[in-house]
Structure 1
Amino acid sequence: MNIPEYLSDFDVSNAGLTVWLFKKSGGAGGAAPTYNGHWIATNDDLNTALKEAIIEARSSIKEVHDYGLLAQNNESSALLIDTDETHANLIVNQSANALPQKKVKKESHITNTYFFVVRLTDGENVLHAVRRTDSSWRTKRRKEVIDIVFRENALALDQSPSFSLSKHVDFFIAADKIIIPHKANFESVLHYRQAHAEEFNVLQAETDFSQIFSSLDVLTDFVGNNKIQLRRMCSIRQKGHYKDPAFMSRLKQQHLTYGLTLTFNAAGQIVPTPETCRDIITALLDHRLASAFSENIYDVPNATEIS
């Protein structure tokens, strides 16, 4: 699909601009993360540079695809998700009011900033451009380096703290949508990985899921906290093939034909082992597919059904 109009038509050049610096904490156990934001004064030259970077980042998006747990994008595409599926409203609401008490007044408000937001306003329209900060914002990193500048053909000590703002945009928040050029940073900033972990816990508690296995212990250990495996388990729950007796019957009958190594007990349950967990996940995702043209068998990262 094309770039949504509320992003492509937004007048970045003439918009009002405020930069917000956010620190992030919490989020354990499925709870929403805590964001602590301060806005900072910026001069005209920096505002112009930020707008130019945002326009460039927007123009690099040539196509948009729906966000999926296993969906991947490239340097010229982005993913799309509704804001109400995320914690984005916490950022939007906090950055809505540049109150005097929320203005940066000391260096401690800046150091250890986790991400920054460029908030653009054009009449009633608002656009947020979000980017994770680099190591120049970390207290630990700053203690390990000597800041220098090139001045008058020589290196000199830079007595004032310096920070870097990336020209890239990890994701845009526009209207009720999020447009995501950088999936990993989006998930990190909005704590999406924790949501995956919680959904995996729910999946394990489902009788329809647990009853197809002799035990879940080995599979749970295999998935662990690995973000890729957590995404896959969440996608398994969304697809729900394990609830379909016909699917499970065909899986038992044909897994060897498709090169999958699975073990079943006398009751017809899958017996997970460390060596077979990867194939179990591939099977339940329905990602082992055969081509009717070449007759080759493939693993397909994000199988999309064609109606």
Structure 2
Amino acid sequence: MDDFKATLDIIKTFNWGTASVSFFVVKRKLIQRKAEYTVLQVNVDKSLRKKLRGIADNKIKQSNAAFEYDFNTVDMDENLLGLSTADTDLQQIIDELKKDEDPPCVNRYEDLIGSWLYITRLDINGQPSLFSARRVSEGWTAKKVIQLINMVFHNNMLVDLGQQEIFRIDGKVDFFTYNGIIFIADKKNFETALNFREGMERNRDEIVKEFSALGLFEDASAISELVGNNLRRLRRLSQVKKSAYYKDPLFLERLKKVNEEDGWGIKYSPDGKLLVTEDDIETVLRVLNNDRLTSKINAENFDVDVKHKLE
């Protein structure tokens, strides 16, 4: 968390209103649920560069703090969630943008159809580039463009633009990255844009293998079956992997002891391995992430979805 705060503080010291601007669209193709991205550069005029620069600059100025990304966290108003860029598909895209050779340029309107997200690159001399991204709603298909009626108000009259070549950019930022850290403003769009669900499914498969190697469960494969593709459970299991309490023997010993004392209902085999069923999978995932807490003030017990550790 300290790294996220320190990096955000550095970002906020720069005058991004003076940065040079480049603009790109990104297309996505899923092959066996794995995303492949194609980056195209788009030439933009001075007026649009100013607007794009302003959108990113405003988001940076509005951002108050950055907290470590948690799979269960919801968006937090003007606060951001921080994550290493290398842990996301965005790294693939950034690597393309940092190559010596520029991406191909958009030369036809049709090249814009099917864009998945757009990225504004801001450059200040002597500093790492900042990349600001926004997911294009529903893939921005040709069909949806045709369904829209586009008009401008001119000479006291609404004028039909017909089927002119239009690409829509709004004033929002879903996430931006600087010097290896991604700051997330819209968690849902971030996860959708960068195929994060696929990452959670990989986490599921990896942690089940770890559970099996550790001998933590009587039948580790039951976790995979019970979690399946359920997004809520995928989130919880991914957070279990991230927090890694299950690797701490003392934590596991205390978990078993408290379960017996407080009657949590978690079951163990005769040789001390966890048993899990549809009836208790939610509880097991919760306690493995240490999400069952007791107030130090009045000893009330709580199940929490998100927590921030006090230093």
* Shorter-normalised TM range: 0.7 to 0.9
Partner of 2:168: 164
Partner of 1:132: 135
Partner of 2:86: 84
Q: Which moved more, 1:206-215 or 1:124-133?
A: 206-215
CA apart distance, 1:207: 4.9
CA apart distance, 1:45: 1.9
8 Å CA contact retained: 1:132, 1:189: yes
Summarize the Cα distance change of 1:136–1:180 in structure 2 as closer, same or farther, 3 Å threshold.
Answer: closer
8 Å CA contact retained: 1:218, 1:274: no
Structure 2 residue 97 is matched with structure 1 residue 95: yes
CA apart distance, 1:179: 1.9
- How many Å separate the matches in 1 of 2:94 and 2:88? 12
Partner of 1:190: 194
Partner of 1:302: 306
Alignment match of 2:277 (pick from 265, 273, 277): 273
Residue ranges of structure 2 left out of the alignment (5+ in a row): none
CA apart distance, 1:58: 1.0
CA apart distance, 1:215: 2.2
Partner of 2:112: 110
Summarize the Cα distance change of 1:154–1:108 in structure 2 as closer, same or farther, 3 Å threshold.
Answer: closer
> Which amino acid letter does the alignment assign opposite residue 133 of structure 2?
V
Show the 5 A alignment for 1:174-189. 174-189=178-193
- How many Å separate the matches in 1 of 2:286 and 2:58? 38
TM-score (norm 1): 0.86
CA apart distance, 1:19: 0.9
Alignment match of 1:283 (pick from 270, 273, 287): 287
> Which amino acid letter does the alignment assign opposite residue 242 of structure 1?
Y
- How many Å separate the matches in 2 of 1:289 and 1:46? 50
Aligned length: 304
Structure 2 residue 203 is matched with structure 1 residue 199: yes
CA apart distance, 1:17: 1.0
Summarize the Cα distance change of 1:234–1:42 in structure 2 as closer, same or farther, 3 Å threshold.
Answer: same
Identical pairs, percent: 20
Summarize the Cα distance change of 1:76–1:92 in structure 2 as closer, same or farther, 3 Å threshold.
Answer: same
- How many Å separate the matches in 1 of 2:232 and 2:139? 28
CA apart distance, 1:257: 5.3
Structure 2 residue 246 is matched with structure 1 residue 242: yes
8 Å CA contact retained: 1:255, 1:261: yes
Alignment match of 1:221 (pick from 216, 219, 225): 225
- What SS does the corresponding residue of 1:36 show, helix, strand or coil? strand
Partner of 1:232: 236
CA apart distance, 1:28: 4.4
Cα shift readout 1:142-179 (whole Å, capped 9, x = no counterpart): 34x14231445346352203232121111112122222
Summarize the Cα distance change of 1:105–1:83 in structure 2 as closer, same or farther, 3 Å threshold.
Answer: same
TM-score (norm 2): 0.85
CA apart distance, 1:75: 1.4
Residue ranges of structure 1 left out of the alignment (5+ in a row): none
- How many Å separate the matches in 2 of 1:149 and 1:98? 41
- How many Å separate the matches in 2 of 1:98 and 1:104? 18
Summarize the Cα distance change of 1:14–1:97 in structure 2 as closer, same or farther, 3 Å threshold.
Answer: farther
- How many Å separate the matches in 1 of 2:281 and 2:31? 29
Q: Which moved more, 1:103-112 or 1:133-142?
A: 133-142
CA apart distance, 1:139: 2.6
